[in-house]
Chain A
Amino acid sequence: MSKAILYDATLCIACKQCEGACAQQNNLPYDDTIAAEAVQSEHKYTVVLTENDKFMRRLCMHCNEPACASVCPVGALHKTKEGPVVYDVYKCIGCRYCMVSCAFSQPKYEWGKLNPRIRKCIMCPDRVTQGRPTACAEICPTGATKFGDRDALIAEAKERLRQNPSNYVPHVYGLEEVGGTSVLLLSSVAVESFGLPASAKLGTTPMPDYTFRILSKIPDFVPLWALVLGGVYWITHRREAVALAEGSGHGNHQGGTK
């Protein structure tokens, strides 16, 4: 069963305990200075943003069909069956295609290091495989960040929308965006105001499909194009051989001097 995180911004009080728990889980530094940073970075995988007294958490969305995993030339990122999109640093060559391709701009980079790694929320895979909630969900005092089965959380999110329609934008962000994500967002204001791409812009097509519809043609194309090129060579040189056999009467025949 695939797991997910449901973040309900209307329940959030911006206590930022999720930030601290995340830092502790991933052995990252965390203090008042870092708490005040309103951007994600290589030392801050998740951030609680405040905009006009409304809150929003940013973290990796853990797409069902992640662009980052599809573009990685060495397969250093992959989606686990439990839901987390995880990173194998030992494979990574540091090309940063994952950063460029991510519609949510989630992968961050250790720009100051000589052997830099990609850094992003990996949804506590060790905890998740043990059946425990992620660090951020475990510590959340209000239940704004909730961990569970994706299907159950979708049902719960829809139920909240049905019971309190006036509290929410009537949409579960992440349900179908880019083919669905393992992080689901509920909010009383449009998520675009927190830098998330609009649902209409994202569409429901998984990002890897955009490149795979070209890439998947290549195995058919290669033998065909090779045959055409070889055929062209054969025809042009056959013409030459024929010209030669017919005698050198046509002085300005192309290739006739050979």
Chain B
Amino acid sequence: MKLKLTFWKVVFCMIMAMGVYSTFVRFYYGIGAVSNMSDRFPWGIWIGFDVLCGVMLAAGAFIVTGAAYLLNIERLHVIARPAVLTAFLGYCLVIVGLMFDLGRPWYIWHQLIYMNPHSVMFEVGFCVMFYTTVLMFEFSAAVLERFNLAKPLKWVKAALVPLVVLGVLLSTLHQSSLGTMYLIMPTKLHPFWYSPALPFLFFISAVAVGLAMTIFESSLSSRAFGRQLELPILVELGGVLYVTLWIYALLRFEDYFHRGQLTNILHPSYEAYFLWLELALAVVIPLAILSFRRARLNGTMLYVASCSTLLGFVTNRLNVSITGLDTWPGHHYFPKWTEASITAMIIALGFFIFATAVKYLPIFEGAHYTLPSAEHGPEPAELPELAPEPTLAD
């Protein structure tokens, strides 16, 4: 255990070192020096992964909070706070990623004054900005609770339901709009991925990924922090994931059927290989696993199905943003190592901040979080027996 921890620390430091070097190159020599993007391929993995996948992987919060507080499913309250933490972190890191990708990031505030309501990107930008603020308020409950700030905590609790409604609303808009963004490229995006149904496909896959991400993060953190797995809840989420994936699979089939692509997707080609990988991971494997009742009741199998779903939809977003647009003759985009190292740094930061937050803030129910010794005397770690049962409100 000790050795493993050291190993991950070394990996973390190496990723950070490479990332810091690449950050220097990015902000000293420009995007051209640090990435393989070009006039032929203006959007690389910083948009394809950092933004598209980042937003998608942070979808858990709006689903869990919506189910817990709007559908009033009280037993979901215990997983609401970790989901909100994941999302808040995720959106913050999306914005960090954008700071690298935007050529003139110091003008990002122009979004607020030079508004173009015809632009999908304007709408996405606005929603992301707004929703990050909503998540900040939702998450602030944990911080306020930790420092016993009763009064502001009361305000946040009072505002919780409107915040959750706003969160679901904004998420519905921008999760689907990330798909709408690609509707402007009917001649450029490969027909395997260009579909008038893109906004709907993006939204439904965000729901599936939100569920899978919640299962993934619950399973992983129960291992990492030695907590008990909330299996009954995960079993329920697994069931909803199963149904959502069926809806997605059906919609995808209908889309290919109506656009006459059903035979094309079976012919081997560069794009077809990536499509097969995507569909196998996102749809076929998880549906195959979850179709067994025994697997749906098994923590490990739920974890495996979720991982496959996550990898599958990450492949999907990369296919839409990279594989499907990579059609210039004799030119394939592949990220430069410095470009990839910035993405790796952002992911590593995400894991690090999550682990730190869980350690010091009341995120998981009954978890042992450390109180900083500066305030609470020399024996801080002994307190956690009294740790509250944190939920977003209550």
A residues at B contact (CB < 8 Å): 40-42, 67, 70-76, 91-97, 99-101, 103, 105, 108-116, 197, 201-203, 207-208, 210-212, 214-215, 218, 222, 225-226, 229-230, 232-233, 236-237, 239-240, 254-255, 258
Chain B binding site: helix, strand, loop or mixed by DSSP?
Answer: helix
Name the residue of chain A whose CB is nearest to the CB of B113: A74
The complex places the Cα of A221 from the Cα of B185 at a distance, in Å, of 24
The complex places the Cα of A71 from the Cα of B108 at a distance, in Å, of 16
The complex places the Cα of A70 from the Cα of B183 at a distance, in Å, of 12
Assess the A112–B184 pair: CB atoms within 8 A. no
How many positions in chain B have a CB within 8 Å of any CB in the partner chain? 57
Q: A94-B104, A210-B183, A226-B169 are in contact. Are A76 and B123 (CB under 8 A)?
A: no
Q: A93-B110, A201-B187, A232-B71 are in contact. Are A112 and B30 (CB under 8 A)?
A: yes
The complex places the Cα of A222 from the Cα of B126 at a distance, in Å, of 14
B residues at A contact (CB < 8 Å): 27-33, 37-40, 42-43, 66, 69-74, 101-105, 107-108, 110-111, 114-123, 125, 161, 165, 168-169, 172-173, 177, 180-181, 183-188, 199, 325
The complex places the Cα of A41 from the Cα of B39 at a distance, in Å, of 8
Assess the B184–A207 pair: CB atoms within 8 A. yes
Q: A99-B39, A111-B32 are in contact. Are A93 and B105 (CB under 8 A)?
A: yes
Assess the A116–B30 pair: CB atoms within 8 A. yes
Given contacts A109-B39, A215-B123, 4 further A-B contacts (CB under 8 A): A42-B39, A109-B42, A111-B39, A255-B72
A-B residue pairs in contact (CB < 8 Å), sample of 26: A67-B184, A71-B181, A72-B119, A74-B110, A74-B116, A93-B110, A93-B111, A96-B42, A96-B43, A97-B181, A99-B39, A100-B325, A101-B184, A105-B39, A109-B39, A111-B37, A114-B29, A115-B103, A197-B187, A210-B183, A222-B169, A226-B169, A233-B69, A236-B70, A254-B73, A255-B74
Q: Which of B28, B43, B116, B185 contacts A73 (CB 8 A)?
A: B116
Looking at B30, B38, B101, B118, the one whose CB has the most chain A CB atoms below 10 A away is B118
Name the residue of chain A whose CB is nearest to the CB of B32: A111
Assess the A94–B184 pair: CB atoms within 8 A. no
Q: Which of A101, A226, A237, A239 contacts B185 (CB 8 A)?
A: A101
Assess the B27–A229 pair: CB atoms within 8 A. no
Please, which residues of chain A bring their CB within 8 A of the CB of B185?
Answer: 100-101, 103
Please, which residues of chain B bring their CB within 8 A of the CB of A230?
Answer: 165
Assess the A225–B172 pair: CB atoms within 8 A. yes
Q: How far is the CB of A135 from chain B (nearest CB, A)?
A: 23
Please, which residues of chain A bring their CB within 8 A of the CB of B105?
Answer: 93-94
Assess the B39–A73 pair: CB atoms within 8 A. no
Assess the A214–B42 pair: CB atoms within 8 A. no
The complex places the Cα of A226 from the Cα of B161 at a distance, in Å, of 12
The complex places the Cα of A42 from the Cα of B66 at a distance, in Å, of 48
The complex places the Cα of A230 from the Cα of B70 at a distance, in Å, of 8
Assess the B71–A114 pair: CB atoms within 8 A. no
The complex places the Cα of A255 from the Cα of B74 at a distance, in Å, of 7
The complex places the Cα of A42 from the Cα of B199 at a distance, in Å, of 33
Assess the B121–A73 pair: CB atoms within 8 A. yes
Q: How far is the CB of B168 from chain A (nearest CB, A)?
A: 6
Assess the B184–A233 pair: CB atoms within 8 A. no
Assess the B173–A218 pair: CB atoms within 8 A. yes
Assess the B118–A212 pair: CB atoms within 8 A. yes
Assess the B70–A233 pair: CB atoms within 8 A. yes
Q: Which of B40, B103, B125 contacts A94 (CB 8 A)?
A: B103
The complex places the Cα of A70 from the Cα of B39 at a distance, in Å, of 20
Name the residue of chain A whose CB is nearest to the CB of B104: A94
Please, which residues of chain A bring their CB within 8 A of the CB of B111?
Answer: 73-74, 93
The complex places the Cα of A105 from the Cα of B42 at a distance, in Å, of 10
The complex places the Cα of A204 from the Cα of B91 at a distance, in Å, of 38
Assess the B104–A92 pair: CB atoms within 8 A. yes
Q: Which of A67, A73, A108, A109 contacts B103 (CB 8 A)?
A: A109
